[in-house]
Amino acid sequence: MAKTDVVKATGYFDGQSSKGNFDVQLKAKFLADDLPNALQFVAGIGKRLLLVASVEGEKVKLGQFTVYSLRVDKDMNCFITFKSNVDSVYSEDFPKLMVEEAHITFIAKILEEDA
């Protein structure tokens, strides 16, 4: 793995949800063109990620997450769900991701401590 454990992939915001037990899920979709970069998020399984998004040139801090699920469909689209606790995220910034058809670059720094 690279010296700086940073993963970067360009995709789309695919939704978010909050549960009664204070869990927050953030979903991202990556198309086949960016599949190799999206699969690099596998390196973050079992670790905490500091997630930042770049939406049309604007940096949006999202908070600390873990990779909850990663799925690739038959069309080579990759769907990643990030999960966290409400205290570890900037949920007030999530609406900044809701831009119609905007390409969003998700940047994750893999933190040393385990999740």
The answer to whether residue 1 sits within a structural domain is no
The pTM of this model reads 0.88
CB atoms closer than 10 angstroms to residue 23: 13
Quick check: helix, strand or coil at residue 16? strand
CATH number for the domain spanning 19: value is 2.40.30
How high is the pLDDT of residue 114? 61
pLDDT per residue as tens digits for the range 21-51: 789 999 999 999 999 999 999 988 899 999 9
Expressed as residue numbers, the domain containing 41 is 6-114
Q: What sign results for the dihedral spanned by CA atoms 53, 2, 33, 44?
A: negative
How high is the pLDDT of residue 115? 58
Reference 9, options 42, 44, 56, 41; nearest CA is 41
- What tokens does 91 get? 């949920």
Domains identified in the chain, total number: 1
The answer to whether residue 39 sits within a structural domain is yes
